[in-house]
Amino acid sequence: MSQSPSPPDSPSASPDSPSASPMHAFLLCAGFGTRMRPVTAETPKSLVTVAGRPLLDHLLDELTAWSALTEIHVAVNHEDAPAFREWAAGHRADLETQGIGLHLHDDGVEAPDDQLGCVGDLRFLLDAVGLPADGALVSGGDSLYRFPLAPLLNAYDGTTNRVLALHEPDPERRAQSSVLQLDGPTVTAVHDDPTGTASTRICPSWLLLSAEGLGAIVPYLDDGGPPDTLGAFLDRLARTHSVQAHRLPQTGHLRLHCNTPDDLEHARKLLRKGPRHVLGPAPVRASLPEPAS
């Protein structure tokens, strides 16, 4: 059973926040982490530690390198809201000195059976804060990326829809993600069943969406689109709008998706033995679109 959503848990706006072309980040952290139990019995999935820090802390490190970022909005469920408030309290002062507001939004959901779904929670955030005129980053909170995100974020101008296209040679791991069908850098379809395409490129829950792309959320849901998978929404978006892919090099383990206890141990093991980043900025920049001639 769910209750009415609580108002945003936010600090007052900083007078020093940048005013030109402000960018928003919408972080979808309202899941109950049922596939991660018993690890998530006491700790929300996005706050589980990898390499000694919560997963969300690693994402914050990447986001604070985004020069245009002014607001971070985090959707959380009602049960986990106290843990997220405690987490946010440890970050707000530092973020405010960088001109970034951190806002928690309790969606009021108290049990897994009542979840809004990731697309439903994105709509919840858009209803709460409005449609950003210059687009936004939409990201889950359960993945750690082993390459710098700043080159992609700082190059984003808000006019297009962009996704990550990561090489995943393992069919079993591919089956756990949305798989992209590509024509060059253009996304033509998104498959939740990898047998629908020969592509090995997966699309994590990390999207740069224009205002027009974000505006497609409401009609998608009103038309009966599944609220619990971003892949289904992206498939609809790719068929009606332009969606472009950042095709990263075919380097292994660029994304560590922590969705089960085995995933978590895999991520911890890799980071005990190897570096945080396995790609530098140059190959990430190489995935950017060619400038118009």
| Nearest-angstrom CA–CA distance, 70 and 173 | 35
What are the pLDDT digits (tens) for 153-210? 999 999 999 999 999 888 888 888 899 999 999 999 999 876 767 789 999 999 999 9
| DSSP string computed for 57-109 | HHHHHHHTT-TTEEEEEEEE-TTTHHHHHHHHHTTHHHHHHTT-EEEEEE---
- Token readout for 182 is 């590509």
Pairing of strands 49-50, 53-54: antiparallel
| Nearest-angstrom CA–CA distance, 53 and 81 | 19
Mean pLDDT of 61-76: 96
- pLDDT of the residue at 40: 84
Fold topology of 23-159+205-228+255-273:
Spore Coat Polysaccharide Biosynthesis Protein SpsA; Chain A (3.90.550)
What are the pLDDT digits (tens) for 38-65? 988 889 999 999 999 999 999 999 999 9
What are the pLDDT digits (tens) for 225-258? 999 989 999 999 999 999 999 999 999 889 999 9
Check if the beta carbon of residue 101 is closer than 8 Å to that of residue 10. Answer: yes
Whole-structure pTM value: 0.90
The CA–CA distances, whole Å, from 29 to 39, 242, 264 equal: 16, 27, 17
Nearest to 153 by CA among 64, 230, 217: 64
Burial class (CB in 10 A: 0-12, 13-18, 19+), 8: middle
Q: Is the model's pLDDT at 35 over the cut of 90? A: no
Mean pLDDT of 24-32: 95
- pLDDT of the residue at 176: 80
| Nearest-angstrom CA–CA distance, 275 and 225 | 40
Check if the beta carbon of residue 68 is closer than 8 Å to that of residue 154. Answer: yes
Q: Is the model's pLDDT at 3 over the cut of 60? A: no
